[in-house]
Amino acid sequence: MPKLSAVQQLYRRWLRRRIPPATTVTLNQRRIFILPTGYGMLFLLIAAMLFIGGINYENNLLLTFSFFLMSLFNVAILHTFRNLSGVTLSAGGMRAGFSGRHGALEVLVSAGPRRSHTSLWLQWPGSPAREMSVKAGEEQRTWLDIELIHRGRVFAERIRIESRYPLGLLRAWSLVDLDHWCLAWPTPIESAECPASGGDDDEGLHNSLAGNDDFDGLRSYIPGDSLRAINWKSLAAERGLQTKVFTDPAEGRRWLEWDRLAGMEPEMRLSSLCWWVLSLDEANQPYGLRLPDQEVAPAIGLDHKQQTLRLLALFGVQ
């Protein structure tokens, strides 16, 4: 992360005092900033030129039109501010991703019972903006992409919410810190040596990845089971959702172990373990994970994969 200048650090401290981090923030006068847009500055310039012309030529029509434009501008200030005032932003869910790629964070936008909010734009710095409108008493949800610059918890910067409604002459905005973070898994890197113990041997692991499992019957579907293991024929025959059960050809469940990658840098170890987690999950093979301070018992399924990847993502993270 680039080093901030003294002015930037001072600005961030001031902004933190004015709009402190919180998972739910309601915009009010203290948290909203408003300035004319480029069109607004041109609008004011035209009004000023009409005023000067009216005085110079003693033309009441020009003066009246100038006063009308200024009155319209003052009304636009009120309505642009009111379109943002009262909006409540809340931190929602999180979609994890691999380090170096993108994840997503959910933002909940809700309106009070008396006022709707039209054409609101939301974005993280450096990401595309999303437009939405919220009716009175309702709540809208949106997902915003976030760049995962490192492994572990990646905290989002302040979200910008902006409105130029109704005339586009003014821009009202706020910078809100929702104290929201996204989980970044290690970048998967293929390794030739499998860091697993259990089963017959490492060669047996490669054979099992080729898809030589033996069919062992059916059982009732459990949420988190791999879609590849679902018996779609039984579902089509209206016998309910069932999952295929396979025997382990290596006659044992494998443990992916940190200690088997001795000599590698810690981040490379995590990346290699991540790659093997994905490979074993793709092959529908039971696997466990042993790290220096934690372990996950062998299992299969989506929930097990998510738990294992989370363990790898947060390894050594304070």
Tally of CB atoms within 10 A around 237 = 9
Residue 24, pLDDT > 60, answer yes
Long-range contacts of 283-286 (CB under 8 A, 24+ apart): 283/208, 283/209, 283/211, 284/213, 284/226, 284/228, 284/229, 284/246, 285/205, 285/208, 285/209, 285/213, 285/248, 285/254, 286/248, 286/253, 286/254
Look at residue 202 in the predicted model and tell me its pLDDT: 44
Look at residue 264 in the predicted model and tell me its pLDDT: 83
Residue 49, pLDDT > 60, answer yes
Query: Greater confidence, 8 or 205?
Result: 8
Burial of 108 (0-12, 13-18, 19+ CB in 10 A): middle
Look at residue 250 in the predicted model and tell me its pLDDT: 46
Give the angle 79-37-126 at the CA atoms, nearest 5°.
105
Look at residue 224 in the predicted model and tell me its pLDDT: 66
Look at residue 245 in the predicted model and tell me its pLDDT: 64
pLDDT in tens, 97-109: 999 999 999 999 9
Full-model pTM:
0.74
pLDDT in tens, 78-104: 999 999 999 999 999 999 999 999 999
Strand runs (DSSP E) across the chain, as ranges?
24-26, 33-36, 88-95, 97-98, 102-110, 117-123, 130-134, 139-147, 152-155, 159-163, 170-176, 181-185, 196-197, 214-220, 242-247, 254-257, 287-290, 295-299
Residue 198 DSSP code: S
pLDDT over 70 for what percent of the chain? 86
Look at residue 119 in the predicted model and tell me its pLDDT: 93
User: Which residues is 245 bridged to in the sheet?
Assistant: 217
CB-based contact 131:163 (threshold 8 Å) = no
Instruction: Residue count of the chain, please give it.
Output: 318
> Which range has the worst mean pLDDT, 44-48, 117-121, 231-235?
231-235
Which residues 6+ apart lie within 8 Å of 181 measured at CB? 94, 105, 153, 154, 155, 156
pLDDT in tens, 272-294: 999 999 988 888 888 899 998 88
Name the residue among 82, 144, 92, 156 with its Cα closest to residue 114. Answer: 82
Average pLDDT over every residue of 66-82: 94
pLDDT in tens, 132-178: 999 999 999 999 999 999 999 999 999 999 999 999 999 999 999 99
Residue 206, pLDDT > 50, answer no
CB-based contact 215:195 (threshold 8 Å) = no
